[in-house]
Structure 1
Amino acid sequence: MKNKKRILKIMSIFIGIILLYFGFLQYKISQYSSTKAPSNADYMIILGARVKGTVPSLALEERINAAARYLKKNKNTIVIASGGKGPGEDISEAESIKTELVKRGINESRILLEDRSTDTYENIEFSMEFIPKDAKIGLVVTNNFHLYRSLMIAKDEDLAVSGIPAKTPLIAIPKSYSREYLAITKYYLKKWTPFF
C-alpha cells in the first residue's frame, strides 16, 4: 500500500513538472505572437512550409499573406524566400512563396530564392548568404507558434532580426503546437547538453 502511494505521488509530481514545462513553452511562444515589426526593414526572410504540389499549405499561405502586407507598405524591403523541395512538392517552397507574392502584387525583382534548405536551421543559415552586406534591419516571417524558436536560432547565428508573426490556421493548431513543443525541447537539448 505504501509503495502504491509512493508511486502515485511520484507520478503526480512527474505529471506536474511536465505540465509546468509545457506551460512555460506556451508562455515563450505567446510572447512572440503579437510582435510588432519595425518599418523599412532592409530584408525579410520568409521561412518555408509544406507545399502540396505547387499550392502552399494553409500555414505557408498565412506567412505569405503577412509578408505581402508588410511589403506593400515598405517598398524598399527585399525578400529572401526560403525553403527547398520536399516529398510531395512539385516545386520548392521558395518558388511557391515567390509565385504567391507576385500574385499579390510584389515585384519579382525584390524576391531572392533560397531553395536548398530542409529545416529551420538551414532556412536561417542558407538565407544569410543572400543578405546585403550593408543591411541593418532584418525580419523573419513565420507562423506565430514557430517564431520564438526561429528567432532563437537566428540569434545563435549572430543574426539580429525581428519577427513578423503570421496566423496559424485553426485546423493546424493542435498538430503545429504539439510538434513545436517537441522541436523546442530538441533545440534546448542541442544547445545546452554537449552530448546531444
Structure 2
Amino acid sequence: MEWNVYQTGATPIRRFSRNRPVRRRRGWWILLAVLITAGLLWSIVAFGRINSAVTTSPMAKADAGVILGMSMWGDEPSPGLKERLDYGLKLYKSGAFSHFVVSGGLDHPDYKYTEAEGMQRYLTAHGVPEEVIILEQKSTSTYENLLFSKAVMQQEGLSTAVIITHDFHGRRALEMARELGYTNPELGVTTSEVMSMFKYKTREILAYTKWKLQQLSL
C-alpha cells in the first residue's frame, strides 16, 4: 500500500492509496499482451519455415536415403509411413542413392516389429535387395533418428545422405542433420494425402519451437 500523510493541526493523519496495486495489475496485463503477441509472431515465422521445405534440386547422388520413422499399425507401417517409403522407393529407383537407412524403434511393447523392421519388410516386398537396407532400431525421436542413423552410416562406410520425410517435417529434419554434422545433407520430402495437415502442422510448430530451444544448448 502507498501511504499519504496529511497534517491536521499538530496530528498527522495517514491515508493509504490503492494506486500501486492497480499499476501492478496493469503491468501484468501489458506483459501478458507482449508475450501473446511474441508467441503469435513466432508461430507465423515457424509456420513459414515449416512450409519452406522442398526436395533438393538438382540432387547429387548420395550414399544413402535415410527414411525417418513414423508409427507402425500393428505389423504394418502406418499409411503416413508408407508415403515416406513410397517416396524413398521413387528416389532409389531414380538413382538418387544406393542404400537405405531405415530409422525407428519399437512403438509398443506388444508390437512384433520395430519401425525400422517394418520399413525393411515393406521395402523388400517392393523389390529392394535386403543387403542394401541398413536398420537403426533404437531411436524414439527425430533427433535420435538422425543421430543414430549417422552412426550406423559411419559403420557401413557411408557418408552422404538424402533425408526422406514429409514436407511439413523436412525443415526441422534438415536443420538437425546439419547440426549433427552430416556431409552436405539433401532433402527428399513428400506431401501427405492421408494425414490432417492442420493437426500435423500445428504439432510441428510446437516441435520446431522445442528444437530451436534445444539447439541453443548444443
Give the TM-score normalised by the residue count of structure 1. Answer: 0.85
Aligned to 1:152: 175
Please report how far the alpha carbon of residue 103 of structure 1 lies from its aligned counterpart in structure 2 after TM superposition.
2.4
**Number of corresponding residues:** 194
Please identify which structure carries the higher strand content. Answer: 2
Letter of the 1:176 partner, please give it: Y
1:76-116: CA deviations, max 9, x gaps?
51011111112263311011111111222222221111111
Give the TM-score normalised by the residue count of structure 2. Answer: 0.77
Query: Residue 81 of structure 1 contacts residue 98 of structure 1 at CA under 8 Å; is this kept in 2?
Result: yes
Please report how far the alpha carbon of residue 170 of structure 1 lies from its aligned counterpart in structure 2 after TM superposition.
5.0
2:138 to 116, 129, 146: 116
1:177 to 201, 209, 213: 201
Backbone CA RMSD of aligned residues: 2.6
Query: Residue 124 of structure 1 contacts residue 153 of structure 1 at CA under 8 Å; is this kept in 2?
Result: yes
1:11-51: CA deviations, max 9, x gaps?
55443322211111111112213543614221111111000
Larger relative CO (CA 8 A, sep 6+): 1 or 2? 1
Please say which structure displays the higher CA radius of gyration: 2
Residue segments in structure 1 that go unaligned for 5+ positions in a row: none
Structure 1 93/139 Cα, relative in aligned 2: closer, same or farther at 3 Å?
A: same
Aligned to 1:99: 121
1:162 to 172, 178, 186: 186
1:39-64: CA deviations, max 9, x gaps?
42211111110001112122211110
Query: Residue 84 of structure 1 contacts residue 116 of structure 1 at CA under 8 Å; is this kept in 2?
Result: yes
Structure 1 76/168 Cα, relative in aligned 2: closer, same or farther at 3 Å?
A: closer
Aligned to 2:82: 61
Please identify which structure carries the higher helix content. Answer: 1
Query: Residue 50 of structure 2 contacts residue 168 of structure 2 at CA under 8 Å; is this kept in 1?
Result: yes
Aligned to 1:127: 149
Structure 1 171/157 Cα, relative in aligned 2: closer, same or farther at 3 Å?
A: closer
Structure 1 3/121 Cα, relative in aligned 2: closer, same or farther at 3 Å?
A: closer
Residue segments in structure 2 that go unaligned for 5+ positions in a row: 1-21
Query: Residue 36 of structure 1 contacts residue 164 of structure 1 at CA under 8 Å; is this kept in 2?
Result: no
User: Is 1:38 the counterpart of 2:59 in the alignment?
Assistant: yes
Please report how far the alpha carbon of residue 7 of structure 1 lies from its aligned counterpart in structure 2 after TM superposition.
7.0
Whole-Å Cα distance in 1 between the matches of residues 208 and 195 of structure 2? 21
Query: Residue 50 of structure 1 contacts residue 93 of structure 1 at CA under 8 Å; is this kept in 2?
Result: yes
- Tell me the SS of whatever aligns to 1:80: strand
**1:10-29 superposed matches below 5 A:** 12-29=33-50
* More divergent stretch after superposition (105-114 vs 127-136): 127-136
Identity in percent: 26
